[in-house]
Amino acid sequence: MRPVALGIPILALALAAGWARSSGAADPVVVSGDHPRLFLRAGRLRLLRRERERHSMRWQQFEALVSGNAPLPEPGFAQALYYQVSGARAAGRRAVEWALSASDLRQMALVYDWCQDLLTAAEREQLASRIARRTGETTALESIPGVRSRVLAAVALFDEAPVAAPDLPRQELDRDVHSWWEGKLAPALAAGRAVVPREDAYALMELLHALADSARLDLREAAPAYFAGFPIEHLMSYYPAPYHMAEGDIYLGATRRAGEPDLDAAVFSRAAELAMVAFDVNAPSTQVLQGWLMHDRFQLRTPLGAPYEFLWANPYQPGLSYYQVPLVYYNPVLGRLYVRSSWEDDAEWFGLFDGAIEWFRDGRVTTLDPRGAREPLLLDAAAICFAGPDRGQRGQWSLRLEDAQPVFVVGLEPRRPYLVEVDDEEMYEAAADPAGILRLDDVPYGRAAGVRLRAIAPPHR
């Protein structure tokens, strides 16, 4: 993988990632450095210990949960982190004792890495053997969380593998980086396939951090176009109105999941953004996220969320105002479209993602069917036209735009070319994207204008 400058088309600025060293595609993945190797690089550990000395709000919340013996959903992770920052051996021993009988590979790896000086020789061998065995049991899982957990385990055990599996860490890292990431996932992202579900964003960030911190590998280099828009798409895919909990407010990400809000998913969504900022503090897109994240009312205070809030947040890092982000996000490669009327909590919001089309207004989400006959949806930043029952074989709409803004026709046949005719403009040909979206930028404003579409050929596959 060679260093690649990642463009941020949303902000028209470059992503700085110059620290990453290049590596040939066939080069073995080598982990260097003493424990802790995972997430707690020297600079971050110094920051966390300063937060403890200053009794910051995030530290007070985390400490209250651990010292108060609150039920912790992830006890190995939370207790080991508390030990690394506070030096409280009792917390570290609780983490070790939990890990010696646990089956959660990710947390077992973190405890092994973060509690090294508390392990006896027998415990070290026992825990290493359990981690190696669990790694072997999950090799068939190619999900992002599954690979993330095995990578964490391989990094933690690198050069310290148990006698029964001395080559496992090196083989696992080579398989995950070269065969899985470079051979499967990154090409799929480059081809416009939506292979990273929103709920896997945090696992993906842990994977990126683990290899960047321990092996100086920046996996983003294999899919630069995807990661160029990754932070802003994550930001734009929130419903505008926050969800109110006893512990504070939280934003909910757009999802096709029905029923009650998944608050654990909301916790990991914010944790993913905190980890994005920590990964690349200089990128304009993550500076915008920092401006979004540093509002005290949205701090994670639950037993699940508080350890992540403390681990990743950096309140001293300056951020940019998210009000600078355009209210329209369109990714023609992945076929995703998000539009907001403003950045206020009472904004209207439109989202087309993963086959779903949703409209958020007055605190409620409505699922829209593009094949139904309906008038165009006019938001302040964009207009949305719906193809209708015939899947856009023909379409005609009359629009009156108040300002220059894009028009999106949705519900068309994916990748099919169309003849586009706009009043007083020359007819031209344009193709819908993989999700059946066609963007039009030449519709006049300040007066009524007609738009007509006609399919002209079978879709390109």
pTM score, whole prediction: 0.89
Same-domain status, 70 and 185: yes
Please report, for the domain that includes residue 341, its CATH number.
Answer: 2.60.40.2750
Cα(118)–Cα(130) distance, rounded to whole angstroms?
17
Strand ranges of the sheet holding 448-455, from the earlier edge strand across to the other edge? 394-400, 448-455, 417-422, 428-431
* Structural domain range at position 227: 6-323
Which residues, at least 6 apart from 295, have a Cβ–Cβ distance to it below 8 Å?
none
Query: 10 or 330, which is more confident?
Result: 330
CA distances from 228 to 183, 193, 203 (A): 20, 15, 18
Domain boundary among 323, 355, 373: 323
Is 1 inside a domain boundary?
no
Same-domain status, 61 and 170: yes
Is 348 inside a domain boundary?
yes
Domain boundary among 323, 345, 365: 323
SS3 298: helix
Same-domain status, 313 and 387: no
Is 260 inside a domain boundary?
yes
Same-domain status, 382 and 262: no
pLDDT tens, position by position, 75-97: 999 999 999 999 999 999 999 99
Is 460 inside a domain boundary?
no
Cα(310)–Cα(294) distance, rounded to whole angstroms?
13
Number of structural domains (the chain) is 2
Domain boundary among 300, 323, 346: 323
pLDDT tens, position by position, 125-171: 999 999 999 999 998 889 999 999 999 999 999 998 888 888 999 99
- Residues 72, 65 contacting (CB under 8 angstroms): yes
Q: What is the CA radius of gyration of the chain?
A: 24
Spell out the alpha helix ranges (H) of 216-344.
224-236, 263-279, 284-293, 306-312
Cα(417)–Cα(460) distance, rounded to whole angstroms?
8
Q: By CB neighbour count within 10 A (0-12 exposed, 13-18 middle, 19+ buried), where does 400 fall?
A: middle
Same-domain status, 302 and 368: no
Q: What's the average model confidence in pLDDT over 328-340?
A: 94
Q: What's the average model confidence in pLDDT over 434-439?
A: 94
Which residues, at least 6 apart from 285, have a Cβ–Cβ distance to it below 8 Å?
8, 10, 11, 15, 228, 229, 230, 231, 232
Same-domain status, 194 and 140: yes
Is 328 inside a domain boundary?
no
User: Does pLDDT of 1 surpass 50?
Assistant: no
User: Does pLDDT of 12 surpass 70?
Assistant: no
